[in-house]
Amino acid sequence: MKKSAFSLSLCLWTACLVSNCAYHEIAWQNKEISGSAVSPLGAGKPVSYNKPQLWNKRHLTWQLDTAKPVPARLSEEELIREIDESFKSWEAAGVFTFSRARAGEPADIVISFGTPPGKPWDGQTGLMGHASFPWSRDRGHIYLDPSEWWSTRSFALVGDPITKWLPHEIGHVLGLQHTHASNETMSENGPYKMPDKTSYAQLRHLYAPLTPVFTWVHCVMDVSAEAE
């Protein structure tokens, strides 16, 4: 069913007066506050007039929390290098740059082999990691299940490579949800491929400035996407 001419006129009128009318694919606030169902990417449903609480800066620092034991088989030096590589893999999107926080300085994003608050791990071969969305109370945390057989390039033939899983969790900590497509960085099940043009487009869309023109385009796109 297509939108009426009145709905289209309302979209155009809103674009002229309101610069922050957000047409989002996902009910961001409901996801965190009420636990309601989330629409898949591309659903095009108007759920809020404001963007969720996203990162308000474009350079983010990260740090590995060594207060939580790192699996003994992993070289901390190699682990740090592959964490850095995982963050750098998102820089090509042109939205963020990343660097490791200096010793003693607070970091925006903390990676640990700990347990998420109130979310106990389910043992090996289950959940691999957990990340907090930017608008959550535990903002900026990535947890990796210490019971999994994590590996770096020194153990390339065995285990679960950090670089096959961590970029996915970084996507979440930046604000991206799962997609229904398979074999993508933000697919629901892994292992995942490194971020590519699809993932970059999702991140750029999420952080795109909401201008009147941007709003008008979203209104028109939403009209054209309606099924008969």
CATH number for the domain that contains residue 188? 3.40.390.10
pLDDT value for 33: 27
Confidence of residue 220 (pLDDT cuts 50, 70, 90): very low
Q: How far apart are CA 39 and CA 226, in angstroms?
A: 15
Same domain, 47 and 138: no
Same domain, 37 and 86: no
Same domain, 128 and 15: no
How many beta carbons lie within 10 A of that of residue 153, not counting itself?
13
In terms of average pLDDT, the best of 51-55, 74-78, 141-145 is 141-145
Same domain, 125 and 38: no
Confidence of residue 228 (pLDDT cuts 50, 70, 90): very low
Same domain, 10 and 104: no
Same domain, 191 and 218: no
Task: Please say whether the beta carbons of 151 and 159 come within 8 A.
Answer: yes
Pick from 38-47, 72-81, 165-174: least confident = 38-47
Same domain, 184 and 219: no
Confidence of residue 52 (pLDDT cuts 50, 70, 90): low
Number of domains in the chain: 2
Residue 35 tokens read as 């636990």
Same domain, 94 and 136: yes
Q: How far apart are CA 213 and CA 200, in angstroms?
A: 21
Q: What is the pTM of this model?
A: 0.70
Same domain, 92 and 199: yes
Q: How far apart are CA 179 and CA 194, in angstroms?
A: 15
pLDDT above 50: residue 46: no
Q: What is the pLDDT of residues 90-144, one digit of tens each?
A: 999 999 999 999 988 999 999 999 988 888 877 777 788 999 999 988 899 999 9
Residues paired with residue 59 on neighbouring β-strands, in sequence order: 97
Residue 92 tokens read as 């090509």
C-alpha distances (whole Å) from 109 to each of 97, 101, 106, 140, 170 are 13, 9, 9, 4, 9
Same domain, 75 and 140: yes
Q: What is the pLDDT of residues 161-213, one digit of tens each?
A: 899 999 999 999 999 999 988 889 999 887 888 999 999 999 999 998 865 44
Same domain, 166 and 218: no
Show the domain range for 161. Answer: 59-206
94 φ/ψ sector (left φ>0, alpha ψ -120 to 50, else beta):
left
Same domain, 46 and 125: no
Cα torsion 175, 164, 79, 146: sign: positive
